[in-house]
């Protein structure tokens, strides 16, 4: 197969993966809840995406660079939302001991 075909496959794969976390971000924003989110998973994926970005830079591969920059930005946004909504929920909890 021609290299152009493989570039198209790579570009399609990049599009699918770099926006893969966007539905989760939208859900967090809509529900204002991060109760079911795993922070270690988000850190792990962010580190993996960052390493892929470094690898893309090393290879001078535009598809890898752009895809992983966008993916990393999505995960950073997700982590920021995690802390924003987690701290809001903590501030809304009733004090121990019940109602006065």
For the chain, the structural domain boundaries read 38-88
Tens digits of residue pLDDT in 9-22: 988 998 998 899 99
Spell out the residues 6+ positions from residue 94 whose beta carbon is closer than 8 angstroms to its own. none
Residue in the block written with tokens 């501030």? 91
Q: What pLDDT, in 10s, does the model give residues 53-95?
A: 999 999 999 999 999 999 999 999 999 999 999 877 666 655 5
Fold of the CATH domain 38-88: Monooxygenase (1.20.1280)
* Three-class DSSP category at 55: helix
What pTM does this model have? Answer: 0.79
Average pLDDT score over residue span 22-48: 93
Close Cβ partners of 89 (under 8 Å, ≥ 6 residues apart): 33, 34, 35
Give the confidence band of 100 by pLDDT, cuts at 50, 70, 90.
very low
68: nearest Cα among 53, 47, 78: 53
């Amino acid at each position: 197969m021609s290299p152009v075909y493989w570039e198209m496959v790579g570009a399609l794969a990049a599009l699918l993966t770099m926006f893969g976390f966007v539905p989760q971000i939208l859900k967090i924003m809509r529900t204002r809840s991060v109760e079911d989110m795993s922070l270690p998973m988000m850190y792990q994926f962010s580190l993996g995406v960052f390493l892929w970005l470094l690898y893309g830079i090393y290879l001078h591969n535009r598809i890898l660079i752009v895809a992983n920059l966008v993916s990393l930005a999505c995960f950073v946004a997700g982590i920021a939302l995690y802390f924003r909504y987690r701290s809001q929920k903590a501030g809304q909890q009733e004090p121990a001991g019940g109602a006065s």
